[in-house]
Amino acid sequence: MGRVGFGVAVGCAVVTCAIAAVLVGRRVQNRRKWRRAVEVLREFEEGCATSIGRLGQVVDAMAVEMHAGLASDGGSKLKMLLTFIDNLPDGNAKGTYYALDLGGTNFRVLRVRLGGKGSMIISHQVEYHPIPQELMSGTSEDLFDYIAMTLKQFVERADDGSEQKADEKKELGFTFSFPVRQMSVSSGILVKWTKGFSVEDAVGKDIAQCLEEAMTKAGLNMQVAALVNDIVGTLALCHYYDKDTVAAVIIGTGTNACYVERTDAIIKCQGLLKNSGGTVVNMEWGNFWSSHLPRTSYDIALDDESPNSNDQGFEKMISGMYLGEITRRVLYRMAQESDIFGDGAYNLSIRFILRTPSMAAMHEDDSPDLREVRRILTETLQVPHVSLRARRLIVRVCDIVTRRAARLAAAGIVGILKKIGRDGSGVASGRAKGTPRRTVVAIEGALYVNYSMFREYLNEAVVEILGEEAAQNVVLRVSEDGSGIGAALLAAAHSSNR
């Protein structure tokens, strides 16, 4: 070999070594970044742990907070609102009843015909109507005149003259999904508007009376027999079909629960409630808080950046509004700390871009190459070319978020059962251990109904917390939204004709 040849050979070797070094260096760096992504996942998983011991603490905390909220107003983050509903529908009512459901930019009017014992609901009709934009920020008179006129036209259209005389007083269940301070089963003061309404002169007024005045003006002979929250309607509807129903839970965009409490246990209202049996309490459980809840830095950041920080803490870990957003926050952190999503992960920084139904679809993707995960990453998040193993990591994040949410909701439900002595322990409420009673909890809301992994985790956790034996007496029953028919049934149960 000549000198030149030797020089070339050495040069080639140096270049080869340099390339190899770069490749090895890059691989080491990639491995380090991958490990960082896995570390983010592991830390998150630890932070979300819901061991059976931890769930037991949440159960106890729920029962304790319920006691505190019943003892005094402001005694707990649980408001434990009185509904004055002491008579749940039992299938015996007969006749025609109406309902009005106002909770957003649309309202529904319903007419339900009940056949009395055995025949249950004979028929029902529903109509949806939009609220004109200008009425959402006008005067209460204009708003309720419009609603009363629409209701009157519906009554006239729906009236088949079969059983109710035109001049007979009709009874209405009014579902009003805004914060109300209830004064009786059929009256309540509007505390404030939410969801885009600002009919300011209605604040502080009895909302049932506003409606009744408008109905009278419209020439409609109808009275509000029950003013209710949607969760109470769900309890009523489920109780109508199954007398063992003692509580109802909604897990949809938000979350809430109500249950039947012994009247004498509601210390803050002694003397106010006349009946001796049970009465329905609207817990507003989305606002539940306990230091035992497994909270991560992602939850804290989500809360800090929310318009209602320090409020609805339980809801922010459980409900459909937030699960996708918690997942997005973890994925964004992974994107920042590693390069598993490539350079184009900008969309992961956009709040609420990942909705819970999309997150559920990724979680439930059972294709071997996680095709659905790839589709959502590409189309919704605009993060193409994510490797299969990184997609698997994403599915793990979804699983951790949903499992924690479902198990905490389960602990909340068992907390209610414990408070009313239906958890099989036989020690709550001083009740001696006797024959176990069948207990039904109604559950409504698209997160529970449509997201099967969530539902399975929740159902499993209830059994795990209660134990196999006690769990045999507890039925979680999927219920329809009761804000319509449930409210009409409550009107029947609290009708002055009864």
- Residues with a catalytic annotation lie at 108, 177, 230
Site string for ligand ADP, 175-204 (x = CB under 6 A): ------------------------------
Those residues with Cβ within 8 angstroms of residue 483's Cβ, 6 or more apart along the chain or in another chain:
101, 103, 108, 175, 177, 230, 233, 234
Closest approach, Cβ 324 to ligand ADP, in A, equals: 7
> Residue 481 CB, nearest distance to Mg ion (Å)?
5
CB of 425 to ligand ADP, least distance (A): 32
Residue 252 vs 412, nearer CB to Mg ion: 252
446 near ligand ADP, rule: CB under 6 A: yes
Binds 451, which of Mg ion, ligand ADP, none (CB < 5 to 8 A, cut-off by type)? ligand ADP
- Residues 250-309 binding ligand ADP (CB under 6 A) are 252-254
By a kind-dependent CB cut-off of 5 to 8 A, residue 183 interacts, out of Mg ion, ligand ADP, none, with: none
Residue 68 CB neighbours (<10 A): 15
Other CB atoms within 10 A of residue 8 CB: 12
Between residues 288 and 451, which has the closer beta carbon with respect to ligand ADP?
Answer: 451
Q: Choose, by CB under 6 A, the member of 451, 458, 461, 474 that binds ligand ADP.
A: 451
Q: Which is nearer to ligand ADP, 173 or 252 (CB)?
A: 252
* Structure letter (DSSP) for residue 200: G
CB of 489 to Mg ion, least distance (A): 17
Task: Write out the E strands in 219-273.
Answer: 222-228, 245-251, 255-262
Among 357, 425, 426, 428, binds ligand ADP (CB under 6 A): 357
Applying CB under 6 A, which of residues 415, 421, 445, 482 lies at the interface with ligand ADP?
445
The Cα 496–Cα 498 span in angstroms is 5
DSSP string, 395-418: HHHHHHHHHHHHHHHHHHHHHHHH
CA–CA distance, 329 with 299 (Å, rounded to integer): 9
Rank residues 192 and 195 by Cβ distance to ligand ADP and give the closer one. 195
Angle value at C-alpha 330, between 329 and 331, nearest 5 degrees: 90
- 461-485 burial, b at 16+ Cβ within 10 Å, e below that, comes to bbeebbeeebbebbebeebbbbbbb
Q: Pick the closer one to Mg ion by CB: 95 or 252.
A: 252
Residues between 316 and 355 that touch ligand ADP (CB under 6 A)? 320-321
Which residue in this structure is represented by tokens 């993060």? 383
Render the burial of 285-316: b for 16+ CB within 10 Å, e for the rest: bbbbbbebbbbbebbeebbeebeeeeebbbbb
Site string for Mg ion, 239-258 (x = CB under 5 A): -------------x------
In the bound state with ligand ADP, the residue whose beta carbon lies nearer, of 347 and 450, is 450
**Interface with ligand ADP by CB under 6 A: which range of 247-255, 261-269, 389-397, 419-427?**
247-255
Nearest-angstrom CA–CA distance, 251 and 396: 22
- Return the structure tokens found at 71: 């003892």
Q: How far is the CB of 484 from ligand ADP (least distance, A)?
A: 12
The DSSP bridge partners found for residue 474 are 439
Q: DSSP E strands: which ranges in 209-244?
A: 222-228
List contacts with Mg ion (CB under 5 A): 252
Residues in touch with ligand ADP (CB under 6 A): 252-254, 320-321, 356-357, 360, 445-447, 450-451
